[in-house]
A and B are shown apart, each in its own frame.
Chain A
C-alpha cells in the first residue's frame, strides 16, 4: 500500500518538518562515520571529534540524574567511563542498527546504572548491566536510510508532544525516576502517569512495528 506523495501541496509546516528531518539525518551521519572510523581504524583524531561533541552531552545527562546517591562528583567520572567504553566497544557499532547518538546513549545509560549499583551494593552482583541488553534483532528490518528516517521522525514527533507527556518521559529518561516515583512527586495517580506514557508512545507510533508505520 503506497500512499502517493503529494509534492505539490506540501504545507509550510510539512516542508519544515521534512527539512528538519533531512538536516538531522546529515548530522547523525557525521557522528556515525566518526564512530566507524574509531572502530575500524582506531583513529584518535575521530575519537577526539566525538569526544568534543559527546562529552558535554554525557555530562549534562549525568547532571540531570536525580538518583538517590548520585552527586556532582560523579558527573565527570561518568564522562570518562562512557568515553573509554566508546573507544573499547566502537568496533561493535553497526550504523544500520542504530545511530551513533542512540548507541552512545545506551552506553551512558548502562554506565550510569552500573556506577549506582556499584556504589549502593556491597554484595557481589552476578550480572553487569550489559548482560540485560540484546543486540537489535537480525529480523528487525530497515535499511540504513529507513532507520535514520524513522529516528528523525521520532525526534520531530517528540518535539510536538504535549508538555505533560513530555515532562513524564523526561523524568524517566533523564532524572532516572520510576513511574511510581514520578507519580509521588507530581501528586498524580500512578494510573495517570502510565496512561500519559502510553499516549505519548501512541502519538509517536513507538508501539507499532516500523514496517507498518504510516508514510507521511
Chain B
C-alpha cells in the first residue's frame, strides 16, 4: 500500500488521456505514471467506459437523423472486404509485439531502445545528468534526469510546462518528497530546487515544453546547456 504513488495527474489530464487527445510527450508521462498507480488505472478504466457510452449514444443520434448511415449494401461490401483481409492475414503468423527488456516501465524501455540502445548521459551540473529520448514529436523535450544521492540541483525557474515522473529512488523540494511513480506538473513561473534522496540516486522521466532557467550566476552559465533539443 505504501508504495503506491501519492502524486497523481489531475482528473482533466486523465480525461484527455482516456479520450486520446493528449499530446505525445504528455501521454508518455501519464502512461508511465499509470504503470505505478493502480488507483489511476481504475479511474482510467471508468473514463474509458464513458468514452464507450459516448460512442454508443452518438451512433443512436446519427442513425436517427443522418442519411449517411451505413446502408445494407455498403455494410455488406465493407464486411466482405474486412473478411478478405482477415483471411489473407491469417496465413501469416500473427506478429507479436516485441517487448524491450530494461529496468524501467516497458514504454520507457522502448523509448530508450529507440533512441540509442544505450543511454547517452551528459553532465548538466555536479549532481545532475541528463539523457535525451527520441519521441517523434517536437513540442516537448523528453529526457531522463539522474540526480546523485544527496545531490542538490541548481535552483531553477520554469518558463514552460514540465512533467516529471519518478522512475527510481526519490527526490524532494521545498514542497514535498516524491517517490517512485509520482507525477509532478510544474507550471511556467514555478521555481524550485530539487534534492536527491540520501539513500541512492534518483532517476526521473521528464518532458519540458521550454528550457528551464537557472537562477544563480553559475547556473546562468549552464543555461546554454539547457537549450531545448526536440528530436
A residues neighboring B (CB under 8 Å): 44, 48, 51-52, 55-61, 63-64, 76, 79-80, 83-84, 87-88, 97-99, 101-102, 104-106, 108-110, 112-113, 121, 123-134, 136-137, 139-140, 150-151, 154-155, 158, 169-170, 172-174, 176-179, 193-194, 197-198, 201, 204, 206-207, 209-210
Contacts and interface: CB of A to CB of B under 8 A. Distances in A.
A172 B21 contact: yes
Contacts of B115: 126
A101 B52 contact: yes
Interface in B105-120: 106-107, 110-111, 114-115
Interface of B: 10-12, 15-16, 19-22, 24, 27-28, 31, 34-35, 38-39, 41-43, 45-56, 58-59, 62-63, 68-70, 75, 78-79, 81-83, 85-86, 89, 94, 97, 106-107, 110-111, 114-115, 134-136
A128 B27 CA distance: 12
Contacts of A124: 136
Nearest to A154: B49
A211 B12 CA distance: 22
Given A110-B20, A197-B12, A197-B15, A55 B75 contact: yes
30 contacts: A56-B59, A61-B59, A79-B78, A80-B81, A84-B82, A84-B86, A87-B82, A98-B48, A98-B49, A101-B52, A101-B55, A105-B51, A105-B52, A109-B20, A112-B20, A113-B20, A121-B136, A127-B114, A131-B31, A134-B35, A137-B38, A140-B45, A154-B46, A173-B54, A173-B55, A177-B21, A178-B22, A198-B11, A198-B12, A207-B43
A172 B15 contact: yes
Nearest to B107: A131
Contacts of A126: 110-111, 114-115, 134-136
Contacts of A201: 11, 15, 47
A106 B63 CA distance: 22
Contacts of B38: 137, 139-140
B42 A137 contact: yes
Contacts of B41: 134, 136-137, 140
A134 to B, nearest CB: 6
Contact of B43 (A127, A193, A206): A206
A65 B136 CA distance: 23
Q: Which A-B residue pairs are the 5 nearest by beta carbons?
A: A126-B114, A105-B52, A125-B136, A102-B52, A60-B62
A151 B53 CA distance: 9
Nearest to A27: B56
Contacts of B12: 179, 193-194, 197-198
Contacts of A131: 31, 106-107, 110
Nearest to A128: B97
A159 B228 CA distance: 45
Given A139-B38, A173-B54, A207 B11 contact: yes
A59 B89 CA distance: 23
Nearest to A179: B12
Contacts of B35: 134
